[in-house]
Amino acid sequence: MTTQKETGNFGEQQAQAYLQSCGYEILAVNWQYKHLEADIIMRDGAVLVFVEVKTRSSVSFGHPQEFVDEKKQERLFRLAEVYVDEVEHQGDIRFDIVSIISKNGLQIEHIKDAFWHY
């Protein structure tokens, strides 16, 4: 039986490979600041992108992207502020979700601009 951590690690590896195959530049994986973590930080041209990866073995309890709640979004906003300051990024940023369903093959959905910070 696969643990949640193993499923999550598998999903993050698949998301990285997928994003790189699409031409995105991966800058950091599992970047942490205190208790905050970004699964993937990448560059899409001049745009700095913070990616949350959600993996599920099925959609019995909902689609993976439905599990990126407001609390998780707020944590990513705080983390993004720290990262942007640290690397002195001056341009646009965005928040994406990569949704992975591993049952019956592999289904990957990249949701650009999945949520915004006001």
Per-residue pLDDT of the chain (118 residues; tens, 9 = 90+): 567 777 778 889 999 999 999 999 999 999 999 999 999 999 999 999 999 998 887 666 667 677 788 999 999 999 999 999 999 999 999 999 999 988 777 899 999 999 887 6
In angstroms, the CA 23 to CA 61 distance is 32
From CA 64, how far away is CA 109, in angstroms rounded? 10
88 neighbors 102 (Cβ within 8 angstroms): no
**pTM of the complete model:** 0.90
Domain boundaries 4-115, CATH class: alpha beta
